[in-house]
Amino acid sequence: MSEEIEKVKCLIIGSGPAGYTAAIYASRANMHPVMYQGLQPGGQLTTTNEVENFPGYPQGITGPEMMIELQQQAERFGTDVRGGWITKVDFTGPVHKVWVDGEKEIHADSVIIATGASAKYLGIESEQKYLKNGGGVSACAVCDGFFYRGQEVVIVGAGDSACEEASYLSNICTKVTMLVRREQFRASDIMEKRVKGIENITIMYNTEIDEVMGDGQVVQQVRTKNNKTGETTEIPCTGVFIAIGHKPNTDVFKDWLDLDETGYIINKPGTSKTNIEGVFVSGDAADHVYRQAVTAAGTGCMAALDAERYLAAKGIH
């Protein structure tokens, strides 16, 4: 151990809308929260250019700006925001043990998990380029589809989420081309039938993106490849939506917390409570349905209130 063990009343792991909202509530309740921001300070929103659907921002705001403001708000009430990520936990006893960066040991009376989930991407160079530029690649149709209204877009994926996002985009875009890697969908029958019945959705099977193409700033088309015939096709579009799933950032908790088959933390219905007393979950680490900043913030509030009541019941002041 490189340092002495630090004892804290409330430890928040993760720094997206869920973590910062939990921090605001916990700070105002005199829980003196300590937050570790994790590998991606600010969470997924830091990769989002424009946020227009979060209440209270009538002109919209960029994702990074919004996270800076949330951090400032949490710090204003006394949250101790720190860099670093949690590499190990031990939830065997009433005091929750956590290690930061493999070295520093912290003993926490309560823990709020807000580690979020990471969107899966194709990993091709041109996709990552336009994703970083904010010029046409997204992993959230509900978040970013509005910017492509009246335009032609491509969506990659074959599961229920991909079908839902394709349906959503079909209402605001003139044409949606859906690329399915195999010969059939992975989605449920009802979702598959729904997208097949929508007039402005075109489905291409056995098809993958070979390259995302544009002028260097914005997407103009994609080159696709049929993985059976090798034939390539160029499809004009201004937006590319990747809907091949998310991976919750919960690996460090898998030996202690109940997770579903995909790795999302299972909370007790209607609460933020996990199977371990004094450990609470908020945001996308437990939510594979909505995955919005505003719902994450709501569960961050729930987690802080649940943690406050837990500490009060334990007589920890």
- Residues identified as active-site: 140, 143-144
For 80, other C-beta atoms within 10 Å of its C-beta total 16
Q: Are strands 175-179 and 246-248 parallel, antiparallel or unpaired?
A: unpaired
The angle subtended at Cα 43 by Cα 159 and Cα 263, nearest 5°, is 45
SS (H, E, C) the chain: CCCCCEEEEEEEECCCHHHHHHHHHHHHCCCCCEEECCCCCCHHHHHCCCECCCCCCCCCECHHHHHHHHHHHHHHCCCEEECCCEEEEECCCCCEEEEECCCEEEEEEEEEECCCEEECCCCCHHHHHHHHHCCCEECCHHHHHHHHCCCEEEEECCCHHHHHHHHHHHCCCCEEEEECCCCCCCCCHHHHHHHHCCCCEEEECCEEEEEEEECCCCEEEEEEEECCCCCEEEEECCEEEECCCEEECCHHHCCCCCECCCCCECCCCCCCECCCCCEEECHHHCCCCCCCHHHHHHHHHHHHHHHHHHHHHCCCC
Alpha carbons 258 and 215: distance in angstroms, whole number: 47
